[in-house]
Amino acid sequence: MFKSLFKKNKEPEQVQAPLTGKIVALEEVPDPVFSQKMMGDGIAIIPADKKVYSPVDGEVVNVFPTKHAISLRSKMGVELLIHMGLETVELKGEGFQILVQDGTKVSKGDPIAEFDFEKVSSLGKEVITPVILLNGDQFKIENKQINTSTTGGKDTIMEITKA
């Protein structure tokens, strides 16, 4: 009876692609904060569609006031950051439409934002979008998909397990 109470959950968190596009290694992001994993490990997506989806079942923790980034927490406790583009904080929300707010409950594949990457690019900003595991002290990434195309809200891009 008590064995199951203390058993670690071995099922990995399946993280879905928040965007449609090409997945690249985080090391390829032209910003040392991300490429040197100062914020945490993850992947990056070069977007091919403007829709942004929840990669996990859980809730929105924080929508940045400048609309360029959203953090989420899965039911398992995994915290992820979707950072749409680089240095996009300077755009003060231009090119972003947020469809959720702090505390919104989300399911995998739910639309959470629209990222007008063409407009952002025309304003001189990189559109590559890092997806970062923020609490890497508690979790680790396994089975990252790299150098492949992905469909937002459908394809699994990585698995995360308890550290």
Catalytic residue IDs: 83
Q: Quick one: how far is CA 76 from the chain centroid?
A: 16
Report the length, in residues, of the chain.
163
DSSP strands (E only) in 2-155: 13-16, 21-25, 42-47, 51-53, 58-63, 69-74, 79-83, 96-98, 105-106, 111-115, 129-133, 139-142, 148-150
DSSP string, 95-123: TEEE---TT-EE-TT-EEEEE-HHHHHHT
DSSP-derived secondary structure letter, 8 = -
Which residue in 146, 163, 159 sits closest to 74, CA to CA?
159
